[in-house]
Chain A
Amino acid sequence: MNRRRGFGFHGGIEPNSYKSETTRLPIRVAPISEELVVPLHQNIGGTPRPLVRVGEYVFKGQRIGAADGNISAAVHAPTSGHVTALELRQVPHASGLADPVVVIRADGEDAWMAPEPFDWRAAPPDAVRDYLRDAGVVGLGGAVFPSHLKMRPGDADAIDTLILNGAECEPFITCDDLLMRERAATILRGASILARLTGARETLVGIEDNKPEAIAAMRQAGAGMAGVEVVVLPTRYPTGGAKQLIRALTGIEVPHGARSTEFGVQCFNVGTAHAVADALERGRPLISRIVTVAGAVRTPRNYEVLIGTPVRELLADAGMMAGVERVLMGGPMMGFALPGYAVPVVKATNCLIAWTPGLLPEQPEERPCIRCGACAEVCPADLQPLELYWYARGNQFGKAQEYGVFDCIECGCCAYVCPSNIRLVDYYRYAKSEIWASERDKARADAARARFDARNARIEREKSERAARVAAKTAASRAAVSAIPDASADGVSEPSVSNAGPASGSEAAKHALIAQALARVRARQAGQDVADDPGGAAGAHQPGDTGHTTS
């Protein structure tokens, strides 16, 4: 089994870990804030639909946002109280933009909703997945991918290896470390549930060798469990990246765009396994998580925090020092600066770092790339970051894509080593969002083109239909006309009628026709008014006709 240590992955870096300060104290349960701000969109996929109204009373754990479609996950009230607002507020996102949130004023009771018993062992797999979706379980490593989507019993690809990610390679972050130290048994119960749901035969827990306590705790908890193995990995960033961990443990490389299940592997964060156990064994939806509070605070440590707790209050509890210029959410390698301190802790918040220039020095000014290749040496995705940079900087996004910008996991190793201080990852993020935007634009343009063409075709069709109708009617009335004046002998052909017939007769026939038509129109209009039938003139313009409206 030692062979597993041999796989590794290309590149990676060994930065200073800054972890020791936050591992000295046990996890503390953060005080309940008076006002909790729960963003609806806390998962990859659709934004949940709000289920509550302003003024409504909610119990702790009550669902306040329902999953929108299958690629989504519910959100819940983190404590009991009244909903005071459903509005747009700034959320923890690099953009600093506002997103819909549910604001709950806590009543201090912290009263749980009545538990709904759910026997996941007896329930069909689909029901278990729906249950997890409605319990709001998402990946807690930071990606917040809905967990229920990662177990698809119906899939052709059976899973034989379940990987628990306890690598936690980013500097500063210790929330998984502490969780493993203190709650190893629950994590492994969650793991065995996941193994059962995915059908995995073996469970590998990957932990970096800088967490001996966590390794010991997990080994002890897993001692009696069949098929569970704790694998100690060398400390190297980004071992905790799902793809790098899978590679390090099994030697399998999951390419960009492929699912690891295609290779028989599935990977969950230890925190996620813990949340799964909580949801299925105790009926507790995901309403809290462990958050590391580090940096310039008096008591750096880990907290168990209710989702929706304003960051400001958590930092105050830890004793934020003066001189903090910004707060980073996530680690220093992949995190981002919070746009404000009023934003809430969300399911993705694994770490908050109170940043001062003394803690991590500000990056000096960029210099030109000297093509030294240091970035390529450390890139765990085996990219040539210098080429990506070149093309992203030159707005040659097609080229950037060719050189694999979407294979970039934004780990930041390249920018960490770059001697020219180039903000490489910023360029990749820029290139990616430009490409996404132009794909969105293109999709919109294509849709517009299709609708434009459809509309033109419809107008064309209506025109020809009208022409056909008119032609048909003309023919019919001609027949009628030829029947009215008994001017010529029977059996005489129509042309001879119009040619040979007396002029006065043909005039009269025309008048009769026009009168008939007017009467018909009037009758139809009257009928329409009575029935208020929208299928008339205007109805013809309803988008419904083109078959696109509902889409």
Chain B
Amino acid sequence: MSGAPYLHRARSVPVIMLWVLAALLPGIVVHAGFFGPGILMQLVVSSLAALVAESAVLALRGQRLAPALSDGSALVTAFLLALCLPPLSPWWLTALGSVFAIVVAKHLYGGLGQNPFNPAMAAYAMLIVAFPALMSQWPLAGEGHQVAGFGESWRLVFGGERALDGITGATPLDALRTGMRGLPGAAPPQISTVMAGSGLGVIAGVGWEWVAAAYALGGLLLVALRVISWHVPTTFLVVLALISALFWMVDPASHAPPWFHVVAGGSMLGAFFVATDPVSGASTPRGKCLFAAGIAVLTYLIRVFGAFPDGIAFATLIMNLCVPIIDRTTQPPIFGHKQGPARRGLRQGDR
């Protein structure tokens, strides 16, 4: 029998994972509202694929299924991946990503707790490298665009039909980048024209800003419940705002304002749900700040100078690599080892 303590707080890993899933719900609802029910199909496909993959790997590794399946971590991975994918992607793309996340990114490294990379982000990165075209077919929302209904979404996701014209288009981030780069030889366009021209919303595009707000709401709930620490989202958003503000102030004509970057793309999802993944993130308080700041800076650089639509996934993976050294160098001082031996002298001096 094990030793003390014999008293425990009733917040186990499954409970934590359930909270994370619950906190994603507002975002999912808003997402489905703006971009159609495709996202729900992706969630189902992704979850099923993840659970099947997890069971298969556990069986192969000779481990019991129940404890690992019930911890909910596979579901969280599946949800995060699905939420990053275009909602009308073909089902096999999602399933492939999900299986990759579980089998390669998680279990090949030893399973839950030992994976150095965020499994959902690793899968996303793999998909975007392998299927760049499919990965950029985002549905459009707002005036003048029709949202795919259930039947149409079903055909698109499961039917192998890829008639997407008029339904999908560039995301705000894509629009910004292609607009900014301009055509070869042409004069670089002004940021204002890009923003207006691609039918963006008030801040970051129709729909997008509301989805971001819903993610933030769920994320704040997690912070309030202390499921995630405040260090990561705060640092991430502040640093992202700071670096984009810096570029924007130097050259407002060719850089988007900070509020755009903070809300656009996967910023909120990344801040509250991706960068806060405990397993692949830093564990010390200062380390968490460094880690999040690193992701923010890299995200911005990849968004502005890189070749991919959003930088969160790559930024997260790169910072995942740095976690061991971040943790090692940010160990907080141990009780009693912060003060010098001069303590007593100080006290005597006080009197």
A and B touch in the complex (CB under 8 A): yes
Binds A, one of B11-19, B167-175, B202-210, B250-258: B11-19
Q: How far apart are B223's CB and chain A's nearest CB, in angstroms?
A: 13
A223 within 8 Å of B (CB atoms)? no
Tell me the residues in window 24-82 of chain B with beta carbons closer than 8 Å to chain A beta carbons.
Answer: 67, 71, 73
Q: Out of A10, A360, A367, A429, name the residue touching B6 (CB < 8 Å).
A: A360
In angstroms, Cα B4 to Cα A330, docked, is 10
With A370-B112, A372-B278, A419-B11 as known contacts, state yes or no: A380 contacts B6, CB within 8 Å.
no
Q: Which of A15, A171, A263, A417 contacts B347 (CB 8 A)?
A: A263
B2 in complex: contacting residue of A382, A383, A423, CB < 8 Å: A423
Q: Does B283 contact A (CB under 8 A)?
A: yes
Q: How far is the CA of A546 from the CA of B304 in the complex (A)?
A: 79
Near B by CB (< 8 A), chain A positions 48-65 give none
Chain A 417-458: CB-based contact to B (< 8 A → 1; otherwise 0): 101110101100100000000000000000000000000000
Q: B3, A94: Cβ atoms under 8 Å? A: yes
Q: Are B13 and A420 in contact (CB under 8 A)?
A: yes
Known interface pairs A333-B4, A367-B67, A371-B279; A404-B13 also in contact (CB < 8 Å): no
Residue B336 is within 8 A (CB to CB) of chain A in the complex: yes
Surface stretch bound by B, among A104-112, A178-186, A248-256, A476-484 = A248-256
Contact B12 A420 (CB under 8 A): yes
Q: Is there a chain A Cβ closer than 8 Å to B1's Cβ?
A: yes
Question: Given the known A-B contacts A253-B335, A337-B1, are A416 and B344 also in contact in the complex, defined by CB atoms under 8 Å?
Answer: no
Checking B3, B281, B331, B333 against A429 with a beta-carbon cut-off of 8 angstroms, the contacting residue is B3
- Does A403 sit within 8 A of B, measured CB to CB? yes
Contact assessment for B283 and A376 in the assembled complex, using a CB-CB cutoff below 8 Å:
yes
A229 to B336, CA, bound (A): 25
- What are the residues of chain A within 8 A of B5 when measuring CB–CB? 332-334, 412, 415-416, 425
Q: Closest CB-CB distance, B280 to chain A, in whole Å?
A: 8
Would you call B9 and A417 a contact (CB within 8 A)? yes
Asked whether, in the complex, the Cβ of B333 is within 8 Å of the Cβ of A384, the reply is no
Looking across the interface, which residue of chain B has its beta carbon closest to that of A375?
B283
Pick the contact of B8 from A363, A367, A410 — CB < 8 Å? A363
**In angstroms, how far is the closest chain A Cβ from the Cβ of B247?**
33
Taking a contact as CB atoms under 8 Å apart, the answer to whether A415 and B335 are in contact is no
CA distance A331 to B337 in the complex (A): 28
Chain B residues, Cβ within 8 Å of A382:
332-335
Mostly helix, strand, loop or mixed at chain A's interface?
Answer: loop
Question: Is B283 in contact with A373, judged by CB distance below 8 angstroms?
Answer: yes
Q: A421 and B8: CB pair below 8 A?
A: yes
**Neighbouring A residues of B16 by C-beta, 8 Å:** 372, 419
Give which listed residue, A94, A243, A326, contacts B336 with CB less than 8 A.
Answer: A243
Binary contact track A156-174/B, C-beta < 8 Å → 1, others 0: 0100000000000001000
**A355 contacts the other chain (Cβ, under 8 Å)?**
yes
Q: Chain B binding site: helix, strand, loop or mixed by DSSP?
A: loop
Complex Cα gap A419–B228 (Å): 13
Mask, B291-310, CB within 8 Å of A = 1, is 00000000000000000000
Q: Please tell me if the beta carbons of A381 and B335 are within 8 angstroms of each other in the complex.
A: yes
Distance from B108 Cβ to chain A, minimum over Cβ atoms (Å)? 15
Is A253 within 8 A of B338, CB to CB?
yes
Give residues of chain A (324-377) contacting chain B, Cβ–Cβ below 8 Å: 326, 328, 330, 332-337, 355, 360-361, 363-365, 367-373, 376-377
B284 contacts the other chain (CB 8 A): yes
Chain A residues within an 8 Å CB radius of B281? 371
Which B residues are in CB contact (< 8 Å) with A256? 334-336
Contact B336 A15 (CB under 8 A): no
Check A419/B15 contact, CB under 8 A, given A256-B336, A384-B284, A386-B283: yes
- Cβ-closest chain B residue relative to A334: B4
B109 to A: closest C-beta gap in Å:
12
CB distance from A19 to the nearest CB of B (A): 13
B111 CB–A CB distance under 8 Å? yes
Assess the B13–A332 pair: CB atoms within 8 A.
Answer: no
Verify A258–B336 contact, CB threshold 8 A. Answer: yes
Residues on A with beta carbons closer than 8 Å to the beta carbon of B12? 364, 367, 419-421
Count chain A CB atoms within 10 A of each CB in B1, B3, B112, B229 and give the residue with the most.
B3
A407 at the binding interface (Cβ < 8 Å)? yes
**Is B113 among interface residues, defined by CB-CB distance under 8 A?**
yes
In the complex, A264 has a CB within 8 A of chain B: yes
Bound form: Cα–Cα A258–B8 in Å: 31
Contact A368 B343 (CB under 8 A): no
Q: Find chain B residues with CB under 8 A from A264 CB.
A: 344, 347-348
Q: Are A381 and B334 in contact (CB under 8 A)?
A: yes
Nearest neighbor of A171 in chain B, beta-carbon distance: B7
| B344 lies within 8 A of A367 (CB) | no
* Contact status B7-A15, CB under 8 Å: yes
In the bound complex, residues from chain B placing their C-beta under 8 Å from that of A383 are: 334-335
Q: How far is the CA of A255 from the CA of B343 in the complex (A)?
A: 12
B13 touches A419 (CB 8 A): yes
Contact, CB under 8 Å: B335 / A332: no
Q: Is the CB of A335 within 8 A of B336?
A: no
List, sorted by A's number, 9 A–B pairs whose CB atoms are closer than 8 Å: A13-B9, A171-B7, A255-B336, A256-B336, A330-B4, A334-B4, A416-B5, A416-B8, A421-B12
Interface residues of A (CB under 8 A from B): 9-10, 13, 15-16, 94, 157, 171, 243, 247, 252-256, 258, 262-264, 326, 328, 330, 332-337, 355, 360-361, 363-365, 367-373, 376-377, 380-384, 386-387, 403-404, 407, 410, 412, 415-417, 419-421, 423, 425-426, 429
List 18 extra interface pairs beyond A367-B112, A373-B229, A416-B7, CB under 8 A. Answer: A243-B335, A247-B335, A252-B343, A253-B339, A255-B337, A263-B347, A333-B7, A336-B3, A368-B112, A368-B113, A370-B13, A371-B279, A371-B281, A384-B284, A384-B332, A387-B327, A410-B4, A415-B5
